[in-house]
A and B are shown apart, each in its own frame.
Chain A
Amino acid sequence: MVDPQTAFPVVISSLLAEVAGTSAQAATGPSAASAITSPVSPGAVVALCIVAGLATWLMLPGKREIAIRRVGAVILTAAALISAALLMRWTAAQGGMGAYFWIFSAIALVSSIRVITHTKPVYSALYFVLTVFATAGLFVLMWAEFMAAALVLIYAGAILITYVFVIMLASEAAAIGAGDNPAGTIPPEQDGISRSPLLASAVGFVLAGLLVYLILDKRNEIHRDVPHAATVAIVNQSGDTAHGDKAPGDTGHREELASAPALGKELVENHSINLQLSAILLTLAMVGAITLARRRVIVSEQDRLASVETVVVPGTPTDDNPHSILVYGTTNPRHKAYPEN
């Protein structure tokens, strides 16, 4: 296992070797120590991330022709296919991942790319709905069936409807306010022109490359740091886990993972404080949203007095309580002592 202090020179040297045009054998030469443990060489990860970052930069909305954005889409698709092929070649020896994983993750990632590159916010929201559905499919593959249903209900059903409402409210009035693109083909400026797209895609794909490299590099260390006694017992029960190939997800755990009653029990027993805190949070968010978005109507004192009806019906006391006498909008200061409601 390569420790982080030496991993970075290995990455950079192998990248430089590939850039310099040396043979693949020379490129894997300095990184031979990590080539054993890492299925994808660090140079390949870095190169793919650079290509994908450039393609994303081309695809982001800006002052470019639509043909250039399509070129970016083609390059990004090629990079994604190459990385998927590398991962597939690695997993083919260990039994593969199944077709459903590849389909759902491809839909999720492609539609999330479309969320950030589409120039119309409504289409971004609809592609986000597609991402939510694909993520729910991934959840089902991980035996979290109740969470998949909850994700579709809450995200696609509640949150995205709110987003679409606000998008339509805001963009309709924006078109009236702007008024300088009657053709409708040119998107408004805040959607059509990105803010420093090169820097954003560079930072994003540096982060993505680091995460992917770390995930692939540290994959055998997950089983080793297990201080939890119960987990160790589960690991021992499920057989040999010395090489980190087997996970404690046998059939009994799968049935427990997929059951909603077990999840409810887990929530109430182990996370009860968090559950009540999230209830308080939701209530406060509702109150806050109503308070924030309420439209305050400011009426001057003259208008308010003028709008109040001034005809006074003689108050008919229903009992001896003087406060039960109704007083309507009088200006007599003696009557001001009464509560007006």
Chain B
Amino acid sequence: MPDVFTNIALQHYLIVGALMFAIGMIGFMCRRNLIVMFLCSELMLQGVAINFIAFGAFWGKLSGQAFVIFILAIAAAEAALALAIIVLLFRQKHTVDSQAFRELRG
């Protein structure tokens, strides 16, 4: 591990974050299980968190880590609410298939 967080290192971490975000987006678009869809959104949030930490380490600032703390808070709140809504939807139709709720489309 190099002692200095170089520009090259920043590129590598940004690439990993971008790939993780893209993978999460693919999963969110094509999976039909509601729970797995929200898992994929958590994956996208992690890609963003890698970017924040990388830029924070690059500039030698703590703001990146502070924003990752807020990302964690938002992810926890989102998981609680989304899973409550999924439980509600599951009680309605006894499935977590997102195609089963097509009539929700406006």
Instruction: Find chain B residues with CB under 8 A from A166 CB.
Output: 35, 83, 86-87
**Contact of A167 (CB < 8 Å), options: B8, B35, B54, B72:** B35
Q: Is A37 an interface residue (CB 8 A)?
A: no
Give min CB distance, B26 to chain A, whole Å: 4
In the complex formed, the residue of A with least CB distance to B18 is: A211
Contact B23 A204 (CB under 8 A): yes
Q: Is the interface of A mostly helix, strand, loop or mixed?
A: helix
Verify if A74 is at the interface (C-beta below 8 Å from B): no
Q: How many interface residues does A have (CB within 8 Å)?
A: 107
Q: In the complex, which range does the number of interface residues on chain B fall in? A: 35 or more
Given contacts A256-B62, A266-B66, A292-B84, contact A191 B33 (CB under 8 A): yes
- Does B106 reach chain A (CB closer than 8 Å)? no
A249/B5 contact (C-beta < 8 A), A142-B57, A282-B73, A293-B84 known: yes
| Given contact pairs A162-B79, A289-B81, A215 touches B63 in the complex (Cβ within 8 A) | no
Q: Does B104 contact A (CB under 8 A)?
A: no
Rounded to whole angstroms, the CA-CA distance of A307 and B85 in the bound complex is 32
* Chain B residue with the shortest CB-CB distance to A279: B73
| CB atoms of A193 and B3 under 8 A apart | no
When C-beta atoms are compared, the residue in chain B nearest to A177 turns out to be B94
Shortest Cβ distance from A131 into chain B, in angstroms?
Answer: 7
Chain A hits for B75, CB < 8 A: 154-155, 159
Tell me, rounded to whole Å, the shortest Cβ–Cβ distance linking B38 to chain A. Answer: 8
> Is A109's CB under 8 angstroms from B18's CB?
no
**Cβ A108 vs Cβ B20 within 8 A:** yes
Contact for B76 among A96, A154, A219, CB less than 8 A: A154
29-83 of chain B: CB within 8 A of chain A: 29-33, 35-36, 38-40, 42-43, 46, 49-50, 53-54, 56-66, 68-70, 72-81, 83
Q: Which of A56, A188, A190 has the most CB of B within 10 A?
A: A190
Among candidates B10, B63, B77, residue contacting A282 with C-beta atoms closer than 8 Å: B77
Q: Is A143 an interface residue (CB 8 A)?
A: yes
Chain-B contact segment, one of A64-72, A132-140, A312-320: A132-140
Q: A174-B94, A174-B95 are in contact. List 19 more A-B contacts (CB 8 A).
A: A95-B2, A109-B19, A116-B23, A121-B35, A125-B39, A131-B43, A142-B56, A159-B76, A163-B38, A190-B96, A215-B15, A216-B11, A245-B8, A247-B10, A249-B60, A250-B60, A253-B60, A257-B56, A284-B77
User: Can you list 14 A-B pairs with a CB-CB distance of less than 8 A?
Assistant: A100-B1, A115-B27, A116-B43, A121-B39, A142-B53, A162-B79, A190-B33, A203-B25, A216-B11, A216-B15, A220-B7, A234-B60, A247-B60, A270-B66
Interface residues of A (CB under 8 A from B): 56, 60, 87, 91, 94-98, 100-101, 105, 108-109, 112-113, 115-116, 121, 124-125, 128, 131-132, 135, 138-139, 141-144, 146-147, 150-151, 154-155, 158-159, 162-163, 166-167, 169-171, 173-174, 177, 188-191, 193-197, 199-201, 203-205, 207-208, 211-212, 215-216, 219-220, 222-223, 231, 234, 244-251, 253-254, 256-257, 262-263, 266-267, 270-271, 274, 278, 281-282, 284-286, 288-290, 292-293, 295
